[in-house]
Amino acid sequence: MRLKGKVAIVTGGGRGLGKGIAMKLAEEGARVVVADMAPADEAVAEMREKGGTAVSFQVNVSKQEEVKAMVQFAIDTYGTFDIMVNNAGINRDGMLHKMSKENWDTVIAVDLTGTFYGTQEAVNYMRSKNYGRIINISSGSWLGNIGQANYAAAKAGVIGLTKTAARENARKGITCNAICPGFIETDMTLKLKDVNDGAAWDSMMQRIPMGYAGKPEDVGNMVAFLASDDASYVTSEVLNVGGGMIV
Ligand code: NAD
C-alpha cells in the first residue's frame, strides 16, 4: 500500500494500459479518478470489487476546459490531488507520403496537446502544495517508426514536455517522468492479429527479445513505482517497459 492517502487521475483509464495502471494504483491504496472519453464504469466497478476506491469521469483530453474540469473534479471528490498519469492516446498510422493533415492533427491534438493540458493543469495545482507526481505515457515509437510519423512526433514531444516540466518544478517537490511502453497487449495492438492472417503479429513477437507482448500491469508496476516515495529522487527520466525491444 505505497500510495495510501494519495489521489490519482489516470486518463484513458477505461481500458488497455490505462486500466492496468488505474488498477495497480488502486491496489497500492490510491483513490483513483478513471478519466476517459468512453464511459469507464466497468473499469471502476472492477476496481471496487477488488477493494479499491475509484470514480469515473468523462473527458476528452484534447479539450482544455474538460481537462481543467477533470482536475477540479478530483479535488472536489477526494479533497486533494497528487498523481497525474497522462495516458490517453490514439494512433492513425500511415506512411508519411500518404498521411493526411487531418490524421496528423488528430494524433497531435490527443497525444501531445492532451498531455500538455494534463501536465499544465497538474503542475498548477501541485505547485500550490509543493508535492506531486506526473507520469506521461510516451512510446518506444518516439525514436521513429515506419508508418507513425504523427504518433512518433507526438510521443517525442511528450518527452521534451516531460523533461521541461521536471526541471521547472523540481524545487516544488514535483517529479515528472515519462514511460515508453514497447508492445503491450491492448485493443490498440491486438488489431495487428488481423493483418496478414497473424503474420504481422508473429513478426512483431520476433522483434521483442523476451519473445512476447507485455501486459498493461507491466506498465502499471512502473507507474506505481514512479508515483511512490521509492522514486522521490527520480525525475526527468524516460523509462522503457518493452521486454528489451527499445534500444
Ligand atoms: P487503447 O486504444 O487500448 O486505449 C486508449 C484509451 O484512451 C481508451 O479507453 C480510449 O477511450 C481513451 N481515449 C482515446 N482518446 C481519448 C481522448 N481524446 N480523451 C480521453 N480518453 C481518450 O490504447 P492503449 O494501448 O491502452 O494505449 C494507452 C497509451 O499507451 C497511449 O498513449 C498509447 O500511445 C501508449 N502506448 C501503447 C502501447 C501499446 O503497445 N499498447 C505502446 C506504447 C505506447
Strand-pair partners of 58:
36
pLDDT at residue number 10: 99
Backbone angles phi, psi at 25, to 5 degrees: -65, -40
Clarify whether 125 is annotated catalytic. Answer: no
CA of 12 relative to ligand 1 center, distance in Å = 6
Mean pLDDT of 41-62: 98
Locate cell 525491444: which residue? 245
Residue nearest to atom 17 of ligand 1 (CA): 60
CA of 169 relative to ligand 1 center, distance in Å = 26
Q: Express as a percent the part of the chain with pLDDT over 70.
A: 100
Q: How far apart, in whole angstroms, are the C-alpha atoms of residue 53 and residue 30?
A: 7
Ligand 1: residues with CB < 6 A are 11-12, 14-18, 36-38, 59-62, 87-90, 110, 114, 137, 139, 181, 183-184, 186-189
- 3 state DSSP class of 80: coil
Q: How far apart, in whole angstroms, are the C-alpha atoms of residue 51 and residue 171?
A: 35
CA of 187 relative to ligand 1 center, distance in Å = 9
Give me the half-sphere count of Cα atoms (radius 13 Å) on the Cβ side of residue 21.
Answer: 33
pLDDT at residue number 137: 98
Select from 121, 186, 223 the residue to mutate for testing ligand 1; criterion: most ligand atoms less than 8 Å from CB: 186
pLDDT at residue number 62: 98
pLDDT band at 2 (very low <50, low <70, confident <90, very high): very high
Residues 101, 194 contacting (CB under 8 angstroms):
no
pLDDT band at 59 (very low <50, low <70, confident <90, very high): very high
Report pLDDT digits (tens) over 193-229: 999 999 999 999 999 999 999 999 999 999 999 999 9
